[in-house]
Amino acid sequence: MSSATTPNTKELNNHVDDEQPTTRRIRHLSLHLNPPSTHNNQIELGACSSRAKVDVNAGQLSSYLRGKHRDVQERVFAYFNSRPDLQTPIEILKDDYRELCMRQLVGLVREAGIRPLGYVVEDPVKYFAIIEAVGSVDMSLGIKLGVQYSLWGGSVLNLGTKKHRDKYFEGIDNLEYLGCFAMTELHHGSNVQGIQTIATFDPVTDEFIITTPNDGAIKWWIGNAAVHGKFATVFAKLMLPEHDKNALSDMGVHAFIVPIRDLKTHKTLPGVEINDCGHKVGLNGVDNGALRFRDVRIPRENLLNRFGDVSRDGKYTSPLPTINKRFAATLGELVGGRVGLAYSSVGVLKIAATIAIRYSLLRQQFGPPKQPEISILDYQSQQHKLMPMLASTYAFHFATVHLIEKYAQMKKTHDEQLVADVHALSAGLKSYVTSYTAKSLSICREACGGHGYAAVNRFGSLRNDHDIFQTFEGDNTVLLQQVAGDLLKQYQEKFRGGTIAATWSYLRESMNTYLSQPNPVTARWEGEDHLRDPKFQLDAFRYRTSRLLQSAAVRLRKHTKTLGSFGAWNRCLNHLLTLAESHIETVILENFIEAIKRCPDANSRAALKLVCDLYALNLIWSDIGTYRNVDYVAPNKAKAIHKLADYLSFQVKNIAKELVDAFDLPDHVTRAPIGKQSPGEAYAEYTQFVGF
């Protein structure tokens, strides 16, 4: 029975008293198999099964997307558009690129008047808006700015105290004190607690002695170190002499300000050895270097002492009782870099999607016999490559906006639960978004054929520059394991009656529901209204995550008995990574749905709902085997999901131009001839570039 012939609920209820039991059962079964269309009170869209093209105004949608800090981004774009001498050429040598990148940063700060450091703590949302805009101009510049202000400046502000802020703030902000963030070592990256650099307190001279004890402890991949840096925040194990004993006590990893070059002559200081990490796959505007310290002495006051201090007589004090708590607090204050990477990665994806989709609308190949050629975006295969990607770009935008707003709230309140929530959410989104963007850059290149391979059209540089986003600020596989670990802790809290963090709230609300057997009736519902209902979509995402979580917990308990906790974790590792990804997808969908509710413009809301439906149903279809294996989705429903996802790709294609125009990226920012806003200019600029 089709939905068009489903009995009207009100009419049937009027005759309920006259029905025989058999007739009544048939009526109820009919309603289960063909649920009546329901109006969604949460998202006012009208009939979601409408086949008409959605009418969307790119300007109105852009205003909603770009938010309140659009003006500072426009200042960044306008400055570099007015300075063609500061625009990065297609071909440039490493050393020249580094000097250009430095001039770009100096110009931005001293000429354009963009002073980011104050925003790092006071207005992080504005700071991340600056980072996104600067990274859109040149990714090396975005990273160099981030090293100076997020990492070097952020470590001083977040790990130090008032004396450090008073001494260093102005010099960091105006670029007099260019600095580095020296955490990673040759032998240790993700395992920060395993670093080997030592800072030993000398009570006689009231100094710390910074030492690199072996080659494995050389600080490696340190941005700004090879050429420009004058200071470094050096992470090292704090060693204190024990009284009346010829021994040292390890107080754990702490951060120290270490001058590495003379402020006047720029010569390397005694005891400091600096070497160049050389040419990289990408980001060659950033001068990464390696640092070795040979008993470099620094004043005791150079210890960034917010979470631990040493007195003149060598006594250690801390507001936190253990090494692990101090270490967690230290890394928690540095999570802003991870937040910024997730947000910036979405900015890269916006550029790539804009170029690929505009070209796909422009490029015409083949067509019906004796008919004009058609746009390559009219081909279903091209839609399949690019439309779910466009939907994901929008989904990631709203999720990372939520993240930076939550981070800003954390910086104001210092609420412990919020700190834990931001730490887990930033780990998951940074990992998921940067991995997706890295894959998408290759897809965009391929979708643009041979012209996508031309360096001038940017996919190569975007791909190479962005690739490391998957590694720095936390390797993506390691970060997903952190998310899985947090989920398992929340799972335990659920059954102990404890408090569950906001990010995992659906575990508290309906874990038991999701772990129950699927309803065999709803598993068959296939109407478009039902499939496009946010409740169905969220329930499906949450069901999958809950199942993965419950089965992971069972497997870990089983294997721990024979393999121990470490061996059991490794045995279940792929399962745990899938669990983490599933949870992050759920969080992303939740935030997309909430963003649609908040959108004030009805047409923009309708467009976003269409995009959100594609995002959700495409992901459900991509893992349809999981849903089929547990009978959450019957075969007929699986087929309907596939069919509707394809149709939604077609519908999104019809407004793809407006959707990428809403990103509001001017041609001097995208800088790709095949991605010009005006189709008539694309081939003309391209031919001029090669000399015609």
Under DSSP, the state recorded for 91 is: S
- Distance between CA 249 and CA 319 in Å, rounded? 18
Largest Cα separation within the chain, whole Å, is 99
User: CA dihedral defined by 496, 498, 502, 508, rounded to 10 degrees?
Assistant: 40
Give yes or no for a contact between 338 and 325, defined as CB atoms under 8 angstroms apart: no
**Residue whose token pair is 């007589």:** 313
Instruction: Count Cβ atoms below 10 Å from residue 461 Cβ, excluding itself.
Output: 20
Give yes or no for a contact between 511 and 546, defined as CB atoms under 8 angstroms apart: yes
Collapsed DSSP state (helix, strand, coil) of residue 47: coil
> What is the amino acid identity at position 74?
E
- Distance between CA 364 and CA 392 in Å, rounded? 26
Selecting among 473, 526, 585, 658, the annotated active-site residue is 473
Q: Which of 683, 59, 611 is nearest to 386 (CA)?
A: 611
Give the H/E segment covering residue 541.
helix 534-571
**Residue whose token pair is 């109820």:** 28
Q: Which of 90, 237, 276, 53 is nearest to 690 (CA)?
A: 90
Collapsed DSSP state (helix, strand, coil) of residue 666: coil
Q: What are phi and psi of 198, to 5 degrees?
A: -120, 140
- Which residues are within 8 A (CB) of 273 and not within 5 positions of it... i.e. 6 or more apart? 291, 292, 293, 294
> Cα dist. 558→415, 512, 551, 629 in Å?
36, 22, 11, 22
- Which residues are within 8 A (CB) of 685 and not within 5 positions of it... i.e. 6 or more apart? 673, 676
**Residue whose token pair is 């910074």:** 210
- Distance between CA 3 and CA 34 in Å, rounded? 6
CB-side neighbour CA atoms (13 Å) of 386: 34
Give yes or no for a contact between 77 and 133, defined as CB atoms under 8 angstroms apart: yes
Under DSSP, the state recorded for 334 is: T
Residue 493 known to be catalytic: no
Identify how many contiguous H helices and E strands the chain contains and give both numbers. 26, 11
| Region label for 414, one of left (φ > 0), alpha (ψ between -120 and 50) or beta (otherwise) | left
Instruction: Count Cβ atoms below 10 Å from residue 499 Cβ, excluding itself.
Output: 9
Per-residue burial over 630-642, b if 16 or more Cβ lie within 10 Å, else e, is eebbbeebbebbe
Q: Which of 649, 453, 623 is nearest to 540 (CA)?
A: 623
Strands 231-241, 198-202: parallel, antiparallel or unpaired by DSSP?
Answer: parallel
- Distance between CA 177 and CA 198 in Å, rounded? 24
Look at the alpha carbons of 163, 165, 168, 171 in this order and tell me if their dihedral is positive or negative. Answer: negative
Q: Which of 349, 378, 373 is nearest to 361 (CA)?
A: 378
Active site residues: 473
